[in-house]
Amino acid sequence: MAPQPRTGPVGGLSARVGRYVNHEDAFVRFGALWLVVASVFTAAWLLSYLFLPQGLLRGGNPIAPEAYAGSVWREFLTLFGWNVAVSLIAVAANTFRSVNTPLGYVVQVVQAPRYGAVWGTGSLAIGTGERIAPSLAVLVERSGPTEITAMVAIVVATRGVMLWHQASGPRWKEEFERVRSPRDWSLTRREWALLVGGYLLLAVACYREAVAISGVAG
């Protein structure tokens, strides 16, 4: 019998994480990916608060809304429209899958540390410019964690919208092949629940943020 490859602790952890974030049960996928995204967000928030210059990332996203819209409801609609557009980009990214990993997952894992660094360096588009000190109270008071949770729910719910697949590595060399059609797409009840719940959470997060911005800039 041929010897089995030894993956080591890192490879073993990666395999376990991959098994859960790509689980058949949508709720299991959601919990697993949320933990990954929350972990990288928190790490970036803490490290940037401690080590990066204040205001480093201010203006780093030139197409995001940066000026107050003039009222809470106009600000809400602006923020919600912007975030829905971002979510649709993440859903579109899910049409590509490398081995078992949808690209929309990667988008969330890459975006989370940048968002954490924005908090840690006080680089919010509208605000006092003060760093946000890491604490559990801040996670409850601010809309950011709700927004992140909503985005994770949306990409997890739409994991099955794959069109192009990369069957094996190395990922930077292998080509994507068209393997499905939009006619093949379908969502389970749990996926529909996550998708609808994700957009409702996104609306709540945007309204809370609009109220907070109105208090600062209104």
First and final CA of the chain: distance in angstroms? Answer: 72
pTM as predicted: 0.88
Q: What one-letter code names the amino acid at 103?
A: L
If you average pLDDT over every residue of the chain, what do you get? 88
Q: How confident is the model at residue 6 (pLDDT cuts 50, 70, 90)?
A: very low
pLDDT tens digits for range 161-190:
999 999 887 777 788 999 999 999 999 999
pLDDT tens digits for range 13-65:
888 888 999 999 999 999 999 999 999 999 999 999 999 999 888 765 554 55
Delimit the domains of the chain by residue range.
Answer: 29-217
pLDDT of residue 3: 43
Residue 9 clears pLDDT 80, i.e. is over it? no
Q: How confident is the model at residue 4 (pLDDT cuts 50, 70, 90)?
A: very low
pLDDT tens digits for range 83-136:
999 999 999 999 999 989 999 999 999 999 999 999 999 887 666 678 999 988
pLDDT tens digits for range 18-30:
899 999 999 999 9
How far apart CA 123 and CA 138 sit, in angstroms, is 16
SS3 string, 102-115, reads EHHHHHHHHHHHHH
pLDDT of residue 64: 57
Place of tokens 């204040």: 54
pLDDT of residue 61: 55
Place of tokens 């996104």: 202
Place of tokens 């389970």: 188
Residue 142 clears pLDDT 80, i.e. is over it? yes
Cα Rg of the chain, angstroms: 19
